[in-house]
């Protein structure tokens, strides 16, 4: 009888923990999706997490996007590798703002959204994806945040 009671209690505890984890995953997905749509979609089309593999999001895209929202890790230089003319243009367009445009908590939710919602590996992503190329329309003026880029 006592063994049965212990088994029931363990089962109930496991079900409660499992339910809480599912709710947390839904919360991350819902808030992360909304924040990514708001912040990422304000400069370009909203990218679905499945577009890239986890490593590319974590090590490439997300650190670069963080800098574009004013978030930098110590020692991180967004202007590294640029010449002085390019640095001047990038600064004038405020591509890498000095002030945070998003809170650390909101950024963490976006990171979690992208790194937990993709199941693809690098091999799968590269095999199924097409390279992104800039549009080339003769005589067109390209804009970045409303500023012409020549």
Torsion of CA 78, 83, 88, 89, to 10 degrees: -80
pLDDT value of position 75: 86
67 within domain boundaries: yes
25 within domain boundaries: yes
Give the global pTM.
Answer: 0.60
The domain containing residue 102 runs over which residues?
A: 2-73+80-121
54 within domain boundaries: yes
Residues 6 or more apart whose Cβ sits within 8 Å of residue 47: 40
127 within domain boundaries: no
24 within domain boundaries: yes
pLDDT value of position 67: 94
Residue-wise pLDDT tens digits, 25-51: 545 557 889 999 999 888 889 899 999
CB of 148 closer than 8 Å to CB of 141 = yes
141 within domain boundaries: no
pLDDT tens per residue, the chain (150 residues)? 777 667 676 666 666 666 655 555 545 557 889 999 999 888 889 899 999 999 999 999 999 999 999 998 888 899 999 999 999 999 999 999 999 999 999 999 999 999 998 866 555 455 555 554 555 555 555 444 455 555
Residue with tokens 């693809």: 120
CB of 67 closer than 8 Å to CB of 77 = no
140 within domain boundaries: no
Parallel/antiparallel/unpaired status of strands 142-144 and 147-149: antiparallel
Q: Quote the CA–CA distance of 104 and 95 in Å, as a whole number.
A: 19
Into how many domains does the chain fold?
Answer: 1
Q: Name the β-bridge partners of 148.
A: 143
102 within domain boundaries: yes
């Amino acid at each position: 009888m006592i063994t049965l009671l212990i088994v029931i209690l363990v089962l109930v505890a496991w079900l409660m923990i499992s339910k809480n984890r599912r709710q947390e995953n839904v919360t991350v997905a819902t808030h992360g999706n909304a924040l990514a749509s708001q912040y990422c979609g304000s400069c370009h089309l909203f990218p679905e997490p499945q577009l890239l593999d986890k490593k590319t999001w974590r090590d490439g895209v997300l650190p670069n996007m963080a800098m574009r929202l004013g978030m930098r890790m110590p020692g991180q230089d967004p202007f590294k590798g640029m010449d002085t003319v390019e640095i001047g243009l990038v600064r004038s367009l405020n591509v890498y703002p000095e002030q945070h445009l998003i809170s650390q908590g909101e950024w963490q939710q976006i990171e979690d959204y992208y790194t937990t919602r993709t199941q693809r590996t690098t091999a799968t992503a590269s095999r199924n994806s097409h390279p992104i190329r800039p549009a080339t329309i003769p005589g067109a003026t390209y804009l970045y945040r409303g500023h012409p880029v020549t």
